[in-house]
């Protein structure tokens, strides 16, 4: 870093600190929230859903259409910035939001764990609260636990990778015990995108299976956006795993993987993570994914009336039906607004303290944070149900107490 660059950055930090301090002196009649997500690039469709979900939340909040904490809630203004799915772009976006737009809080990254790993460092540097939305990687929570004082102002708005781990492990344990799926030789394999998200899920799931005497025989990684999986599938056909887990954030990767897996005719039980939530995948699912088992079905307008009602509101506003990303973004924004309302201030410490006290029932479940500043998962928090595509429609098949159909 040059001397000139360092002076500019220092000036920016001081300006942001002064702006934050000035804001904290005022009551929270108005709050400006910056949002960082993939507005362009391969994940732009998800970024667009996040933006629409948050815009609807703010519109309904400002109009008094949702439950508030106080009788005098603040009016909210949003400023969006693009991360382009890249950490360095996300950092530049955060600096603009803090030094030029003087935001009181940031929600970001809205999708990527690897971008969030970079953004969370900006919370202690600038003294501004940061709440991520969909990122899952447990590595984020591990950083918080390693230095709670440093990450006092950072919060993670989605559960950890062990939420998927416990769901996948719990489902298969139940399926083996009830003769739904044959246990075989206890060998599991993974094909995951080479990101903190993909690797953390494979690690957490593999660890739970190994505790039951299983062997992880392969963890194949591919760059984000990969559509040619023949090399990985040819290798796995020779290894003959009993369970195969695939993890991708982009629908085109998932679509290609499911098509090519069917062509290779592996006999393994296959479970997909995340990409079946994407509408682009579901558009082709009826022809390629009948019988597909996947996690997690957390937004299901076809079987949940409250989700259909939310989808209708999104469609009325943006001329598109809602998906899981709309719902998660909507809930994340309401968590942020409720924290500012409860704090009665835009002071960072006050907002951060109120985020930690969150106990809010939203579309995707009950939002509460643990000691690692991460939203909890489980039956009494954010549920992580396993679903199966049956005759063109998703059905919950596990846990049994919320199942809408038997597993086939």
The CATH 3.40.50.2300 portion of the chain extends over: 30-160+303-375, 162-300+385-402
User: What is the pLDDT, as a whole number, of residue 303?
Assistant: 85
pLDDT in tens, 87-115: 999 999 999 999 999 999 999 999 999 99
In this model, does residue 24 exceed pLDDT 70? no
User: What is the pLDDT, as a whole number, of residue 265?
Assistant: 85
- CATH number for 30-160+303-375: choose from 3.40.50.2300, 1.10.3720.10, 3.20.20.70, 3.90.226.10: 3.40.50.2300
Mean pLDDT of the chain: 92
In this model, does residue 26 exceed pLDDT 90? no
- What's the burial of 15, exposed, middle or buried (CB within 10 Å: 0-12/13-18/19+)? middle
d(CA 284, CA 263): 16
Q: Phi, psi at residue 84, to the nearest 5°?
A: 50, 25
pLDDT in tens, 207-264: 999 999 999 999 999 999 999 999 999 999 999 999 999 999 999 999 999 999 999 9
**Cis status, amide bond into 399, omega within 30 of 0:** yes
User: What is the pLDDT, as a whole number, of residue 287?
Assistant: 92
Structurally, what CATH architecture does the domain formed by 162-300+385-402 represent? 3-Layer(aba) Sandwich (3.40)
User: What is the pLDDT, as a whole number, of residue 378?
Assistant: 85
In this model, does residue 302 exceed pLDDT 90? no
- What's the burial of 39, exposed, middle or buried (CB within 10 Å: 0-12/13-18/19+)? buried
136, 194, 124, 158: CA torsion to nearest 10 = -10
Under a CB-based contact definition with an 8 Å cutoff, are residues 105 and 354 in contact?
no
User: What is the pLDDT, as a whole number, of residue 28?
Assistant: 65
Work out the average pLDDT over 23-38.
79
| Angle in degrees, CA 18, 19, 21, rounded to 5 | 65
User: What is the pLDDT, as a whole number, of residue 380?
Assistant: 86
In this model, does residue 270 exceed pLDDT 50? yes
Confidence of residue 15 (pLDDT cuts 50, 70, 90): very low
User: What is the pLDDT, as a whole number, of residue 346?
Assistant: 94
pTM: predicted TM-score of the whole model, two decimal places: 0.84
Using DSSP's 3-state secondary structure scheme, residue 358 falls into coil
Give the other-Cβ count within 10 Å of 46's Cβ. Answer: 29
Q: Phi, psi at residue 342, to the nearest 5°?
A: -65, -35
Find all residues with CB under 8 Å of 173, minimum gap 6, and list them: 212
DSSP H/E element including 191:
strand 187-193
Give the other-Cβ count within 10 Å of 146's Cβ. Answer: 10
pLDDT in tens, 278-289: 999 999 999 999
Find all residues with CB under 8 Å of 166, minimum gap 6, and list them: 208, 377, 378, 384
Work out the average pLDDT over 150-177.
95
User: What is the pLDDT, as a whole number, of residue 27?
Assistant: 54
d(CA 70, CA 91): 34
List the beta bridge partners of residue 367: 360
Closest CA to 377 of 134, 112, 116, 160: 160
Query: Percentage of residues in the chain with pLDDT exceeding 70?
Result: 93
Closest CA to 289 of 319, 254, 333: 254
Provide the strand spans (E) within 23-109.
30-37, 75-82, 105-108
| Angle in degrees, CA 161, 338, 24, rounded to 5 | 110
Query: Percentage of residues in the chain with pLDDT exceeding 90?
Result: 87
Q: Phi, psi at residue 41, to the nearest 5°?
A: 90, -170
In this model, does residue 314 exceed pLDDT 90? yes
Confidence of residue 162 (pLDDT cuts 50, 70, 90): confident
In this model, does residue 181 exceed pLDDT 60? yes
Under a CB-based contact definition with an 8 Å cutoff, are residues 130 and 108 in contact?
yes
């Amino acid at each position: 870093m040059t001397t000139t660059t360092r002076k500019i950055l220092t000036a920016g930090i001081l300006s942001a600190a002064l702006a934050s301090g000035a804001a904290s002196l005022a009551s929270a009649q108005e709050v400006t929230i910056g949002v960082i997500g993939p507005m362009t690039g391969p994940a732009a469709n998800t970024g667009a859903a996040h933006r629409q979900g948050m815009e609807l939340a703010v519109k309904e909040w400002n109009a008094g259409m949702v439950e508030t904490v106080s009788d005098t809630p603040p009016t909210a203004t949003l400023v969006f910035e693009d991360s382009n799915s890249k950490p360095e772009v996300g950092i530049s976006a955060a600096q603009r939001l803090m030094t030029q737009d003087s935001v009181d809080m940031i929600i970001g990254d809205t999708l990527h764990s690897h971008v969030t790993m970079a953004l969370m460092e900006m919370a202690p540097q600038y003294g501004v609260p940061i709440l991520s939305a969909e990122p899952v990687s447990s590595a984020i929570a591990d950083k918080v636990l390693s230095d709670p004082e440093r990450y006092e102002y950072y919060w993670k708005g989605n559960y950890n990778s062990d939420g998927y781990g416990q769901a996948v492990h719990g489902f298969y344990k139940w399926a083996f015990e009830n003769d739904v799926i044959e246990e075989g030789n206890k060998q599991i394999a993974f094909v995951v995108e080479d990101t903190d998200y993909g690797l953390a899920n494979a690690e957490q799931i593999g660890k739970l299976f190994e505790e039951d005497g299983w062997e992880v025989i392969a963890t194949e990684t591919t760059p984000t956006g990969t559509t040619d999986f023949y090399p990985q599938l040819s290798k796995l056909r020779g290894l003959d795993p009993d369970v195969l887990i695939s993890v991708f954030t982009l629908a085109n990767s998932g679509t290609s993987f499911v098509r090519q897996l069917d062509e290779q005719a592996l006999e393994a039980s296959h479970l997909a993570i995340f990409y079946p939530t994407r509408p682009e995948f579901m558009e082709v699912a009826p022809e390629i994914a009948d019988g597909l088992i996947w996690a997690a079905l957390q937004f299901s307008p076809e079987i949940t009336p409250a989700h259909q009602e939310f989808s209708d509101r999104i469609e009325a506003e943006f001329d598109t039906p809602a998906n899981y990303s709309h719902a998660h973004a909507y809930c994340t924004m309401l968590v942020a607004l409720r924290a500012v309302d409860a704090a009665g201030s835009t002071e960072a410490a006050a907002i951060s303290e109120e985020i930690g006290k969150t106990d809010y029932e939203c579309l995707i479940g009950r939002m509460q944070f643990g000691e690692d500043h991460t939203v909890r998962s489980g039956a009494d928090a954010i549920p992580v149900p396993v679903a199966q595509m049956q005759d063109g429609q998703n059905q919950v098949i596990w846990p049994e107490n919320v199942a809408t159909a038997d597993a086939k």
